[in-house]
Amino acid sequence: MANDCMYLWESVKVTEGLRNFGASAKDQYQRMIAGDWAPGARQDRGMTLVATWSVAGMVGPYPWCLNLWEHRGWEGLAEMNNAQFRSTRQQTIDMDKRLEAWFARANKLRTFVYDRMLSPSRHTPTLEQLLAQGVRGNAYYHECVQLAPGRAAEYQRRLHEEWQPAAERLGMRLVGCYRTELRNDSEAVNIWALRDFAHWAELETALRRDPDARRWVAATEGLVHDWKVWLLAPHPLSPLQTGRLP
Amino acid sequence: MANTKVYQWEYVDLEPGVTNFGTAARGAYLEHIAQWAPQGRVSRGTSLVATWAELGVTGTWPRAINLWEQDSLQVLARRLEMAENLHGDTKGSPARGAAPDPAAEQWMETARKMRLEVECKLLFPAAWSPTLDELLARRVTGGVYYHQTVQVTPRRAEDYLALLQAEGLVPADALGMQLVGAFRTGLCNDSEVLVIWALRDFGHWAKIEKAGREEPMQRWRAAAATLARDWQNVLLLPGPRSSLSTGVIL
């Protein structure tokens, strides 16, 4: 059955946390997300945490975290926004008052967030399916792919048909293949679970040499304009790691 | 009557506000803008169309957007002159002979604790884009606003606006989207268009997103793709004292 959920991709800079709490800032923030926010948010806002990761700073931006949330379609995203902004009065424009303490602490950790709304490809598993299939990694490979405008759906279809079987042969397990919404079908986000960072090192070499990988890159020339990879380290409280819904 | 006004669009980074004021920073900044607006209108000839908070889940947090309307480029030029002369030299004297403006200085001092960087754009409206007076007369207002930035083929911004008028307004109207403004960005190669719509609420927005993948919006998207190289949308939350929220010019 096609996945008709929507996803919120949330990248969070925790520089303020470094200032206030030191090197544990990322972990503290992720505990607030996975331990404190996620269980209630699933009930109150219909937002289910898929995972919270730390972006590997040595090969990407530091100090950043990444959260992925699953929602019940566009209406689910509207439900989340309604819950947060239920009043247009000045005092409550930013938050649900019940969450004041959570936000007060969060504001000591992060002062900048950049988000994307993502729709999944037809064959992207839901969180429940991911858990049932035991998809998890000790490292994750996150690709942000810039595409020729209007061709995101074509890219997703071809990824499943032409690349996913070869990627799985290389040990990559697909967490999701998503299209970025609110723009011109010009970006995709793919997330793969890897065994660990040693697996990533092997993979990096294989992606240059493996005939199927080379074929995939060549075949998508013109469709794919550019891409950038982040390596992600999962937080132990992340649902993909615990194997349980929040 | 054709809209011959000029607009200033401000995109404001509120990271220091979160540090200094906590979660209320965005609301506090929107209120700070609302407090400035009457003075800006009297002393600088600029009217606040709206002040909005960008909805972080659709883009960046914490950010605010202000839209100001001026009668002409000359009025804006006068504003620029006043702004650049605002701060005195190191001895506290007003720069280049300008008169001191303690009210503005005081406002700026508070603003400094809230915002870090500001990115501005000069916007020229399509002739059929409503002025602030017309927006208020038509009671255009929203619980949430849809802000579209469209990158178009260089030198084709006016063509894109003409296409929007001819083919985009009708399907948007059928979906209940109320036009706040359609602009080309100045000081560049006619390669960018901004369009802002008022929506009823988040439920209305969800319906629009779903409708975007169906006819007739798909037909409009296909037509727009002949000129639009790329585009990006964000949702905005209105400041409660914005002119569009209250129906009264601040």
Contact (CB<8Å) B57/A82? no
Q: Is the ipTM of this complex over 0.90?
A: no
pLDDT reported for residue A85: 75
Q: Coil, helix or strand for A232?
A: strand
Most confident range, picked from A55-59, B77-81, B210-214: B210-214
**Can you tell me the distance from the alpha carbon of A14 to that of A36, in angstroms, rounded to the nearest whole number?**
17
DSSP structural state of residue B93: P
Name the residue among A73, A95, A117 with its Cβ closest to that of B23.
Answer: A95
Tokens encoding B38: 């009457």
Name the residue among B23, B237, B239 with its Cβ closest to that of A103.
Answer: B23
**Can you tell me the distance from the alpha carbon of B123 to that of B8, in angstroms, rounded to the nearest whole number?**
6
A to B CB pairs, distance under 8 Å: 113
Average pLDDT for B45-61: 94
Average pLDDT for A86-109: 70
Element holding A105 (H helix, E strand): helix A100-106
Residue B232 pLDDT > 90, yes or no? yes
CB atoms within 10 A of CB B119: 10
Q: Are B25 and B14 in contact (CB under 8 A)?
A: yes
**Kindly report the CA angle at B122 between B121 and B128, in degrees rounded to 5?**
120
Q: Coil, helix or strand for B51?
A: strand
Give the tens place of pLDDT for each residue, A175-202.
999 999 999 999 999 999 999 999 998 9
pLDDT reported for residue B94: 47
**Can you tell me the distance from the alpha carbon of A172 to that of A206, in angstroms, rounded to the nearest whole number?**
12
Name the residue among A10, A77, A111 with its Cβ closest to that of B15.
Answer: A111
Give the tens place of pLDDT for each residue, A2-50.
899 999 999 999 998 988 998 889 999 999 999 999 998 888 889 999 9
* B13, B19, B209, B242, best to mutate vs chain A, most A CBs in 10 Å: B209
Give the tens place of pLDDT for each residue, B154-186.
999 999 999 999 999 999 999 999 999 999 999
DSSP structural state of residue A50: E
Buried b (16+ CB within 10 A) or exposed e, A187-208: bbbbbbbbbeeebbeebeebbe
**Which residue in B has a C-alpha nearest to residue A77's C-alpha?**
B206
Contact (CB<8Å) B60/A89? no
Residues paired with residue B51 on neighbouring β-strands, in sequence order: B66
Contact (CB<8Å) A181/B209? yes
Q: Give B-chain residues touching A149 at CB under 8 angstroms.
A: 225, 228-230
pLDDT reported for residue B6: 95
Residue B90 pLDDT > 80, yes or no? no
**The amino acid at B182:** A
Residue B95 pLDDT > 50, yes or no? no
The structure's pTM equals 0.88
**Can you tell me the distance from the alpha carbon of B105 to that of B103, in angstroms, rounded to the nearest whole number?**
5
Name the residue among B18, B55, B232 with its Cβ closest to that of A111.
Answer: B18
Nearest CA-CA distance, residue B47 and chain A, Å: 21
**Which residue in A has a C-alpha nearest to residue B27's C-alpha?**
A90
